[in-house]
Amino acid sequence: MTDVYITETNQGIAKAVDDMFTSLEKAGPILKKTKEVYIKVNGIDFKKHCYTSPAVLEEVIKRLWKIGAAKISVMENATQANMTRVVFAINGFKDVIKRTGAIPIYLDEEKTKSFQFKGKPSAAIDEKGYVLKEFRLPSTVVKLIEDRDSYTYISLPKLKTHSMAGVTLGMKNQWGFPQHADRGKDHNYNLHSKIVDVFEYIRPDITIIDGIEGTIYGHYPPTALEDRLVKRFNILIGGRDTLAVDVVGARVFGLALDEIEHLKIAYDRGLGEGDLTKINVIGKDMSQYQEKFPTDLLQEFPADVKIVRGNAMLCREGCQNNPLAMLQVLFLDHGGKGGFFIVMGKGFDKDLAMHLKQAGYSRGLVAGACAIKEVGEMLRQAFGKRNVFFSEDCNNLAQTATALFKLAKVHPLALVPISTPKLALLFVSAKLHGSKALTPALF
């Protein structure tokens, strides 16, 4: 049996973290020979409900110092259209790191090394049936991969469903390792296997899910809908087998292994325990988690935005839910204006431009390589290049954000809750330190 522990936060986060570490230490020491620890938080954005609780991070760091850590680093590479240095300064991570004596590592600013991932099957396949494709990992992650016996690596994700991956827990947390430019390509139905590909290169020694609250209908809930999309669970879920921890985390949402494709792929590849009957859950009776929560986006979108979905192919993991998630946020939280179209997928009516004109639309976004290839130039010829934006690859959030900001008439700085001079200073500092983050046009 594989042990997974659940501790309650009702009596305080410090106690819950201490109880978690006391349980984890039963299987042996947490610190390795260098006594250096690297913590991967979920810090995709500074938007409320999107990131690991700073209070949980702080108590984990305190506990690690208490058991003799010599050096503690907190690392992340925020989502596309953002910079990690900016996220840490806004969401509270920077303050926690400074207060506790840890070290921030902005992975988007590091030098990289290329690795191979198994992409979609084609004529040129390896012995396991996968195309080999490169992706770049930052130097800190490379160091951990190449000397796993020397350093303790802890994954500290937040309990969230995910509109593209089903859930984003310990395993999906590592999708922050590949560089931005390498994430968008093939970010389609192949996303699930690629998450596991990264996991095969580097598996955490310990995974602790911050389950104080959990998000449903995806990982990026509009604040206007937080009363419907955010649920209070008041737990931490932890263990040494990331797959087992994730299976328990998914079960808290009422989801089984077979419903989360990347977890199933990892189990089939033998990368941990995925059979819930062989996981010893200590601290909670899992039978209490009976409600099944939705993972896809809440299907409520502005009536005056024409969403055109291809009928031959449309990947939830890429060109569909990437722009739709942002669309909801811009309209519900920032007063976005409609009157435009979004075209996504593959397989469109040959008279699409005429139908859009007849419906009164003249501006829009063509999202994803499939749609751009099929109808992109035709739509630009019909409406003019300046009126039709392209978001390339399967998930280029920076280009999608640039387009939607302009189309919805929302200034990007409206999303950033700090002064423009402070943001500019952080932005320039990140660039001077080598940030390779893909960001939207700010002006």
pLDDT, tens digit (0-9, with 9 covering 90-100), for 25-46: 999 999 999 999 999 999 999 9
- Entry field: residues in the chain: 443
Residue 373 CB coordination number (10 Å): 11
The pLDDT, as a whole number, for residue 43 is 97
Q: What is the pTM of this model?
A: 0.95
Residue 302 CB coordination number (10 Å): 18
Q: Which fold has domain 2-288?
A: Rossmann fold (3.40.50)
HSE (side-chain half, CA atoms, 13 Å) at 235: 23
Q: pLDDT tens digits, residue range 314-366?
A: 999 999 999 999 999 999 999 999 999 999 999 999 999 999 999 999 999 99
- Distance in angstroms between the alpha carbons of the first and the last residue of the chain: 56
Q: Above 90 in pLDDT, residue 185? A: no
CB 186, CB 164: distance < 8 Å? no
DSSP character at residue 319? I
The pLDDT, as a whole number, for residue 46 is 97
| Sign, CA torsion 359/163/88/147 | negative
Distance CA 260, CA 247 (A): 9
Q: Above 60 in pLDDT, residue 199? A: yes
The mean per-residue pLDDT over the stretch 114-132 comes to 59
The pLDDT, as a whole number, for residue 205 is 98
The domain segmentation of the chain, as residue ranges, is: 2-288, 305-410
Reduced to 3 states (helix: H, G, I; strand: E, B; else coil), residue 346 is strand
The pLDDT, as a whole number, for residue 122 is 42
Q: Above 70 in pLDDT, residue 127? A: no
Average pLDDT of the chain, as a whole number: 95
Distance CA 208, CA 440 (A): 32
Residue 16 CB contacts under 8 Å (≥ 6 apart), including other chains: 7, 8, 9, 59, 235, 236
Q: pLDDT tens digits, residue range 290-309?
A: 999 999 999 999 999 999 99
